[in-house]
Amino acid sequence: MSIEALTFAKLTDLKEVEKPAIRLLFYVIAENTFNDTGLCKVGQDELVYQTRGKLRTLQRHLAQLAKAKIIEIERRGGGGSGRLPDAIRLLRFRDWLVDQRGKDGL
């Protein structure tokens, strides 16, 4: 869990895609984002469970966040047993985090 990514998510303007369900999804992605990589590697099934939504709705909301340039989705291949969950990057999070650490002296 990343408190910093959650703080970033709370401060982020979701622009034209701002809706309660999309905001919740963005918070869940942030909660599962690692500070060192800026990536969330939680699968779509888990995101559906955590947001209490439906898979197709989740996919549509991810596409809207990506189109608005709020997240970036990296498809990840897998071994012989199938594909790995996508990696979701919170755009601008790493820069924001470096800036915050500079201000706080961390």
Each residue's pLDDT tens digit, 42-52: 999 999 999 99
Confidence of residue 80 (pLDDT cuts 50, 70, 90): low
What average pLDDT is seen over the chain?
A: 92
Q: Is the pLDDT of residue 19 over 70?
A: yes
Residue among 30, 20, 34, 21 at smallest CA distance from 70: 30
Residue 101: per-residue pLDDT: 86
Q: Is the pLDDT of residue 77 over 90?
A: no
Calculate helix-pair angle for 55-67, 20-31, nearest 10 degrees: 80
Q: Alpha-carbon distance 100 to 91, whole Å?
A: 15
